[in-house]
Amino acid sequence: MQNAPFLAEIKRETARRRTFAIISHPDAGKTTLTEKLLLFGGAIDMAGAIKAKKDGRHATSDWMAIERERGISVTSSVMNFDFNGYAINLLDTPGHQDFSEDTYRVLTAADSALMVIDSAKGVEVQTKKLMDVCRLRDTPIITFINKLDRDGRSPLELLDDIEQSLGIEAAPLSWPIGMGKEFKGVYDLRQAHLRFFDPQAGKGTRPRETVVIQGLEDPSLAELLGNDSAADLRRDVELLDGAGYPFVMEHYLTGKQTPVFFGSAINNFGVKELLEAVVDLAPGPRPRTANLREVSPLEEQFSGLVFKIQANMDAAHRDRIAFVRICSGQFNRGMKLRHHRLGKDIKTSSAILFMAQERCGVEEAWPGDIIGLPNHGTLNVGDTLTTGEPLRFLGIPHFAPEHFRRVYLKNPFKAKQLEKGLTQLSEEGAIQFFRPVNGGAMLLGAVGALQFEVIAQRLASEYAVDIDLLGTTFNAARWLFAESKEQLDKLTREHSDALVTDAAGHLVMLFTSAWMMERTIELWKAIRFEATRECAETTE
């Protein structure tokens, strides 16, 4: 039985945690919004303008060389900060579809999501795919419609687009005043007020409020907005009161409704309202499903899930960090945790908290927090750590690759460095490497083709290994599982040219066409051909 003081403390600390992921189609302004959330949260003093390459600034969350060069996010980042008494764990995810596997895993560590939509483009292809992932877990989603400082679609049209394209109720909790050159800010429907910011503080330094108007009847409204804009705002709010979806907390928490906020991240409008809504509305840590039972965050025993591995965040030390979502109990520096896949204890004296690539030591952490554990190859994505019970949290899969390349090493004397680089980078889960059972050149597999460019650049910059990646005829893969070893051995003898093993030793079959895959599955009914496998699954 838990002691009363600890129960009270863990309830208090868990209740003030907010762990959410930011998701979007590329170029919707997700990274800029992330930086402005950090600004309003007081975590940073100056936003790294993406376009300001002359002074060497770049996004706080984009720490890889390729991210700074291209202005895109290719890996997820974690940022911890406090706001209004809440402990925020913000997970910035890649927007590009070729890195969606990383985004999927990050969403398993989040309790809610913040979806960013470009006001000119509305719901886009990747937005729909990410929504499907969130719907698998009924993840609550808050929507931020960005770039109102540019001409775009009308607010009502955007709300209808969300409802029709994503199949979810859209309940506006803020409303834009004008658009493009006529954009004057957003009205907070929840608090019934309107904030103005110093325009000189809009491009980098911490935002400064200049005026706050309370209510639509405030006499300052027409003075600051103009009579026409003030009248339009009053009319729009009256229309929403009669025809819009009212916000229902239960609908939001069950993934049936998304509260919608409008704004311009680059100009600060709507960002503070959004951050306040996240801490007020988004759920705290929730129970999580394990192999044996459901685990409550309020349990005394510690449990945590490794949802991401990142190599070489600190290039000087060639480190590997395991990102651990705390699911229950209290973490204390130095505590011993049981690594159940390997059946041994690990030390945690060097645990850290994150601000993208920046880090600091952590003395204690609570359910919902994301901590980093230095990793020397012992921790994999999907591993569970506890202080006792042999739990295994479920739902973090490897996806079957859809693109393949053969690895050609330009300098044969670098074979050991190549092996090390591919082993460590594949631990991150975005790229998979395979060894043909008949020997020969290694194969790389990825869900998105751009991953190959990233892996080649990272091998060169982080491991001093230059490679060429050659095309193959393969376009599909399936993991093989069977009760009978005899059946697997027979398939291996007959199809050895198409068989490889992954980094964990699992047998995989490659296919050159969908027809060939379907035909093979039909002929080998005693074998399961799986498109996914649990990351922590062993070959035993």
The full set of domain ranges for the chain reads 21-75+92-281, 288-386, 397-534
Q: What are phi and psi of 72, to 5 degrees?
A: -130, 160
Q: In degrees, to the nearest 5, what angle opens at C-alpha 113 toward C-alphas 169 and 26?
A: 95
For residues 233 and 230, give the distance between their C-alpha atoms in angstroms, rounded to a whole number: 5
**Binding-site positions for GTP:** 24-31, 92-96, 146-149
Domains 21-75+92-281 and 288-386 share a fold: yes
Beta bridge partners of 177: 185
3-state secondary structure of 397: strand
217: left (phi over 0), alpha (psi -120 to 50) or beta: alpha
CA distance 309 to 22: 19
CATH architecture of residue range(s) 21-75+92-281: 3-Layer(aba) Sandwich (3.40)
What local confidence, expressed as pLDDT, does residue 205 receive?
A: 55
Q: For residue 153, name the pLDDT band (cuts at 50, 70, 90).
A: very high
H-helix or E-strand spanning residue 399: strand 397-399
Q: What is the mean pLDDT of residues 433-438?
A: 92
54 has pLDDT over 80: no
- Model confidence at 208, pLDDT cuts 50, 70, 90, reads low
pLDDT at 79 (0 to 100):
87
CA distance 38 to 297: 26
Residue 372: exposure state from Cβ atoms within 10 A (0-12, 13-18, ≥19) = buried
Handedness of CA 370, 371, 376, 378 (dihedral sign): negative
Fold classification of 397-534 (topology level): Alpha-Beta Plaits (3.30.70)
Residue numbering of the annotated binding site: 24-31, 92-96, 146-149
Residue 99's pLDDT is what? Answer: 63
pTM score: 0.82
> 30-40 and 271-281 helices cross at what angle (nearest 10)?
80
288-386 placed in CATH 3.40.50.300: yes
In the predicted structure, residue 317 carries a pLDDT above the cut 70 = no
Examine the pLDDT at 371 and tell me if it is beyond 60.
Answer: yes
pLDDT 10s digits, 344-368: 999 898 898 876 556 788 899 999 9
Task: Give the Cα separation of 396 and 109 in Å (integer).
Answer: 10
Choice between 101 and 306, residue whose per-residue pLDDT is larger = 306
Residue 98 scores a pLDDT above 80? no
| 8-state DSSP, 209 | E
- Selection from 417, 427, 455 nearest residue 536 by Cα: 427
Which of residues 317 and 313 earns the better pLDDT score? 313
